[in-house]
Amino acid sequence: MKQKFNVTGMTCSACSAHVEKAVRQVEGVDSVSVNLLGNSMLVEYGGKTGPEQIIQAVTDAGYGASLPGPAGKAAPAARPADAMEEELAGMKRRFLTSLVFLAPLFYIAMGHMMGWPLPALFHQPSNALVVAFLQFLLTLPILYLNRNYFFTGFKTLWHRAPNMDSLIAVGSIAAVIYGVFAIYQIGYGLGHGDMARVEQYHMDLYFESAGMILTLITLGKFLETRSKGKTSQAISRLMDLAPKTATVLRDGAEAEIPVEEVRVGDRVAVRPGQSIPVDGVIVEGSSAVDESALTGESLPVDKGPGDEVFSGTVNQFGSFEMEAARVGEDSSIQRMIRLVQSADAGKAKIVGLADRWATWIVAAALASAALTWLLSGQVIRAVTILVVFCPCALVLATPTAIMAAIGNATRHSFLVREGDALERLAQVGKAAFDKTGTLTRGVPEVTAVRSLSPGVTEEQVYAWLARAELGSEHPLGKAVVRGWQAAGGGTPAPAEDFEALPGRGLRAVLDGHTVLAGSEALLEEAGAALPPAARAEAEGFLAQGCTLIYLAVDGAPAGFCALADTVRGEAAAMLRALSAEGVSPVLLTGDNENAAAHIARALSIREYRAGCLPEDKLNWIDRAQQAGVRICMVGDGINDAPALKRAFVGIAMGGVGSDIAVDAADIVLVNDRVEELPHLLALSRRMMTTIRLNLAFSMALNLVAIVLAMTGVLNPVVGALVHNAGSVLVILNSALLLKWRRKS
């Protein structure tokens, strides 16, 4: 069976990996997937294994676990974004308060080294104890505010699974302990007139290192929590999209009931503008339905008796009655919500380089300190090793590079919502694109007008269609009018009479002539069937993915208008640039085979999938990533939300995209300039190179400092300078990313 568990105490990807390892070792467990962002875990197990054994395994690993609800039942649905607000507010308060105390602490500690102006009392050896104690007092609130890192760090260290929190906890507490020892030495020196001792330890305080590390980590956690909250908004918006009530026909009367009470077989009435509450089949009436929530296609779909309709889609024009077929958790909108909720669980989580190395770094530092103490008998040397080891440069190596890269991305109209999104983007092998609104403009345009009557010109056909469609609310009709005006036709004269025919087209009277505009079926009903030659020409446009509006005048076919979603002018060059970076483009669209094939040929895309529903895109991404290919998904519609979350990296079009897609994505392209995507990819890879250089440098610096401290060569003052110089060099190297530009 499959069972979901809540997991507490996880702070990083190393934590989730440790939980997975612990649960996987339980007898009877077949698979386990931990969702760090959702603080949850999905376990498949069998045999005599029960939830108690799994919870115990997590507890033994140093974390907490519980079932989602009483007796393992799912808890009532709640808006996930609301649950993040309190945590986010707490993180923000801790960071800002820590910063208030860190600023004066850092200024006092480093002012004499950097030549900053300080009052005379800070320079007088006789006041060394006051200065040292002041630094200690400024550090205490920072330690208290960020005490959770010590709880987590030492807990994971105790369970032999240290992570970055362990690294921070050991290094910062060592700095504080040594600082307290230095205060004692300063006091002893002042009391006994030993000013050499005072001078030595006055310059040998590391309180600012502990404060800086804890404050920076708090900032990182705040940004991470904010990203988590933004991600959960996609689910909240989908919940808002789901209809709350339905109009059901019972005993010959209409009754409005909660959508949860609709049963299979119920007859449901749907009015214009309403969201369809459940999945079903139309039994009476016709209309045009906006299915963009499912397919991503902006054009409404004509529906009539016998056609299937889906929950969460919007009825546009006509009224109809339907028979409920799939209700409750089985409806399309609820399946979409579940897809988005589960997408993160299957998303590959990158384990940070610092987390991967944390075990060995902590072990090396502790072993070095212990060995030095045993061999030299000098506790001071051992503590000095831990202080020097305090990983300021290591902590700064990754976040400074990421922040600089994010700053660069922002200048190129990208909003990076997930902290490790650029890190993941550097590893993608394929980029999957939605069609409508991503590679195309998402708006139908007139591409051709054809006359089917010898006495009628194409311009006359276009004019008749524009006049007839002037009163239409249909997106295709509006596109015809807009195209006529753009071609210089001006505002068309209104029809003398107008009647919308939902699901089929319209009827109008123009200058005494009866005009029909709409589907081929509408013309056939009126006895104006297309001749074979005209049908062959029309099929040629249909094969290119066009949508056709047919025109009949006084019962005779007169012509047709072809409309299509046009390709973005910059799309082809962008795809070629991505291919040059080693990333293969793939087209995933809810449109028909003809339209998909036409776009793929126009953009030289070798791989494409047509007729994709949200679960189809999700399944394709799953199969690709299980085969070892990391996917970047680029989309804009509600239907793309599950795929955007499941993909290794999700990029949403912010200008034309839905709010739900934007909330589900890791990165948002604010102004829809797709030509910037190759720069973002190259930037992510440059960032990873910078991070590796930073980490290698900081670790080498720590290693050298530890060796020098072990041998007693490293002077405390010089050690402090080296310690802080390393941090500065890491920051400067990361800052180079701010103005980096991809070479064309």
Euclidean distance between CA atoms 664 and 342, whole angstroms: 12
Contact 449, 484 (CB under 8 A): no
Task: Output helix, strand, coil percentages for the chain, rounded to the nearest 5.
Answer: 55, 20, 25
| Catalytic position from the list 290, 344, 420, 434 | 434
Report CA-CA distances (Å) from 230 to 83, 236, 659.
Answer: 12, 10, 11
Distance CA 254, CA 268 (A): 9
Q: Which long-range contacts (CB under 8 A, 24 or more apart) does 255-261 make?
A: 259/327, 260/328
How far from chain centre, in Å, is Cα 464?
47
Contact (CB, 8 A) for 275 and 310: no
Sign of CA dihedral 183, 186, 188, 190: negative
Please identify which residue in the block is written with the tokens 């290192």.
Answer: 209
CA distance 218 to 203: 27
Query: Which residues are CB-neighbours of 562 under 8 A, at least 6 positions away?
Result: 446, 447, 448, 449, 450, 541, 546, 547, 548
> CA-CA distance, 425 to 409, in Å (whole number)?
13
What the block records as the tokens of 436 is 């409508």
- Cα–Cα distance for residue pair 664/596, rounded to 1 Å: 25
Chain-centre distance for alpha carbon 648: 10
| Among the listed residues 212, 186, 231, the one whose alpha carbon sits nearest the alpha carbon of residue 103 | 212
Strand segments (E) across 526-683: 547-553, 556-567, 584-588, 607-609, 631-635, 649-653, 667-669
Active site residue 434: yes
Q: Which residues are catalytic?
A: 434
